[in-house]
Amino acid sequence: MIFTVLTVVLILLGTVMLFSAGSSYAKLVYGDSFYYLKTHLKHLALGLAIALVFIIGITPTNGRWLAVGMYGASLLLLAAVLVVGTRVAGARRWLNLGFINFQPSELAKTAMIMLIALYMSVYEKKISGAKPWKNLVYGFIIPICLIVLPVSVLVVLERHWSGALIVFVIGACTVFFGGAYLHWYLIAVPAILAPAGVIAYSIPYVRSRIEGWTNRGADALGIDWQTTQGLYAIGTGGLFGLGLGQSRLKYGYVSQPQNDFVFTVVCEELGFFGAAAIMVLFLALTSRGLMLAVRSEDRFSGIVIAGISFKIILHVLLNIAVVTGVGPNTGISMPFFSSGGTATLIQLMDAGILLGLSRFCKGESFE
């Protein structure tokens, strides 16, 4: 029950902080301080229903079939976005489903993890064989090229380079969990990142983000506004914070504080110790997930659990890196804290998949 308790605690904390951070902006834009809270609760209700279906219904057997179907559907949805997707700031990343603007790239991350797990479990003997070339071909080149790259390329075509990079990192690490040798990464990563970095830097909007990050403070009233105000909020919180609901910089300074920069309000209101406690909860959640992966009696389940656990902590670390100025502003949400329908639904679906497969771990009937 440890993973379940940690997830519930983070959801509750996230809901409270989302309301505190976004209430003033909701009042300004929608005339209702509770707008983001009510929307988030609707997404939570739907997401919990989805999670419950997976907790009860998923098994290592039907999970394999689900992996194939989900991955195929994700590719179709990503392709559909390029044709009929909703355009925002020149980029198409969402499909308007009426009740929600759905972002297929979020679903694709989980689908990719599951298909990699299926592939690595089917070819386990060739991947873990004594001959290194088999591990290179079957354990690294094939899953990267045929599973990870198709999703990454489609996300790049959405003009979402940071999203494509995250997809690739999640996929590559899941392949590692499946048994790929570490030295292939030491060779491949520099060879891939160097040309990818040159190509990305040649694109104006990507270059502006990178230059804004490397020249922090040069345009504090322009491109650096959100990050600068976020850093002010973090610094204002000190060790113990101003108190829940007492943030000052959420009033028109931190842009859309209910979303990617919600953690800055967490720091301002709860201080260093409050923010550190939340980070510890996320680390404990990830550690528990990886422990369940090790205990799994089924290779497919173990890789899926490890991949999902890594995906959660990667999003947390990247979000904190962005809001603290360690990384460029790339629009990465904080799991369970940031407002966003697709992210909330997929995060709860991920938790449901992990909890459902945990039933097949040694010594665990339900996590």
The Cβ-side half-sphere exposure at 350, using a 13 Å CA radius, reads 30
* pLDDT of amino acid 200: 66
CA trace torsion 118, 121, 126, 131 (10° rounding): 110
* pLDDT of amino acid 353: 97
Across the range 275-285, mean pLDDT stands at 97
* pLDDT of amino acid 44: 96
Which position has the higher pLDDT, 57 or 332?
57
The structural domains of the chain, with segments of one domain joined by +, span 2-360
Q: What's the predicted TM-score (pTM) here?
A: 0.93
- In angstroms, the CA 326 to CA 140 distance is 30
Instruction: Scan for tokens 């656990």, then name that residue.
Output: 309
Q: How far is CA 109 from the centre of its chain?
A: 8
Q: Coil, strand or helix: which one is 230? A: helix
* pLDDT of amino acid 341: 85
Which position has the higher pLDDT, 66 or 232?
66
- In angstroms, the CA 24 to CA 333 distance is 19
* pLDDT of amino acid 170: 97
Kindly report which listed range (35-49, 104-118, 218-232, 336-350) carries the lowest average pLDDT score: 218-232
H or E element in which residue 181 lies: none
Beta strands in 213-253 (DSSP E): none
What is the percentage of the chain residues whose pLDDT exceeds 90? 63
Q: Is there a contact between 109 and 176 (Cβ–Cβ < 8 Å)?
A: no
Which position has the higher pLDDT, 228 or 233?
233
Kindly report which listed range (56-65, 202-211, 346-355) carries the lowest average pLDDT score: 202-211
- In angstroms, the CA 90 to CA 76 distance is 21
Q: Is there a contact between 226 and 258 (Cβ–Cβ < 8 Å)?
A: no
In tens, the pLDDT along 302-333 reads: 999 999 999 999 999 999 998 888 877 777 88
In the predicted structure, residue 218 carries a pLDDT above the cut 70 = no
Kindly report which listed range (4-8, 293-297, 360-364) carries the lowest average pLDDT score: 360-364
In tens, the pLDDT along 76-129 reads: 999 999 988 877 655 678 888 777 788 999 999 999 999 999 999 999 988 987
In the predicted structure, residue 219 carries a pLDDT above the cut 70 = no
The encoded tokens of residue 205 equal 């909007």
* pLDDT of amino acid 137: 93
* pLDDT of amino acid 86: 76
- In angstroms, the CA 209 to CA 216 distance is 10
